[in-house]
Structure 1
Amino acid sequence: MGATLVTEHLAIVMLVHVLRSHLASESATEPGWLAGLADPAVAAALACVHRDPAHPWTVAELARAGSVSRTVLATRFKKAVGQGPHEYLTAWRIELAAKQLRRGERTVSSIAHAVGYGSDSALSTAFKRVMRPRPGTTGSTRIPRRDANAVTCLSCDTFRDRPVLANCVCPPAEV
């Protein structure tokens, strides 16, 4: 029991050191959600989006969470993350929906409501705009992407060409 606790804490300490090392490196200047965590206002907005992706977030609400104006948040968010707050929210919702669709345990309609869309057609429209195919046609493992060279990691469910979750280190799966 004590060894398990020590092992868990050691793993946390190692994770913190790896993150600090990454943030101190030159690659930390690349846009992405990790770079967004370095800015307190953007980090607050990211926390809101990840805590409740189904909420109908406005830039004003996210800016209030970070105690800045809408313009300041939008500018800093785009610079840090590489896309605007609404684009990030849409991409995050679609990532969550795609993961649930691959599992195949729920209906498209229930997934749509769970990730913040009022109907399956609203999810389908957003899904097509971001990922191309209809949600019900994703199959069990791979989702075709706009970029023919894009691959989906089957181990950790990240999309290699997405700025939202582009930090996958797993070997790429064949498309």
Structure 2
Amino acid sequence: MYHHQPTSPCRECTYCKRLGHTVEYYNQCKHAGAAVANHTPRACFECGSTDHLIPRCPKLVQWNNETLLGVNAEHQNPYGKLQPLEIPMWKWEHITMDLITKLPKTRNGYDTIWVAVDRLSKSAHFIPIKETYSSKKMAEIYVKEVVSRHGVPVTIVSDRDTRFTSHFWKNF
């Protein structure tokens, strides 16, 4: 999505071919609908759509998360190269864990699936849990479902979910 700097609007609608008849902010358009939540910057007055606007002005800049967050990429240090994870030598020595949340509740009240995957064989355990489980309960389930079957892994890769941080390991 493109937008123009706020000082000078300049866009062309592909339907009516008129320049500069786009609304300043999408929520000013009566046809805005659900796209207001997406913070779409411009829309056509005729139909309220933004998907048929052509960026014709050379002053247009790309609308992305860096613009939204006020991050100027030119002044940032370059990111380091991604480091590949080592290839495991034995099954269930190195695992990954993640949670699939916001699922419909089952008859037992489970609404989350805890996924533990072996990085070598790609075999996995899909453990039904409740999203409200505490770190202590998660540690108990981890011992019962993973450690009891495969032993304690050497490394675990996961996202920074609060259930996988220090409280989990203190309870473990």
> TM class by shorter-chain length?
under 0.3
TM-score between both structures, scaled by the size of structure 2: 0.25
Considering fraction of residues, name the structure with more strand: 2
TM-score between both structures, scaled by the size of structure 1: 0.25
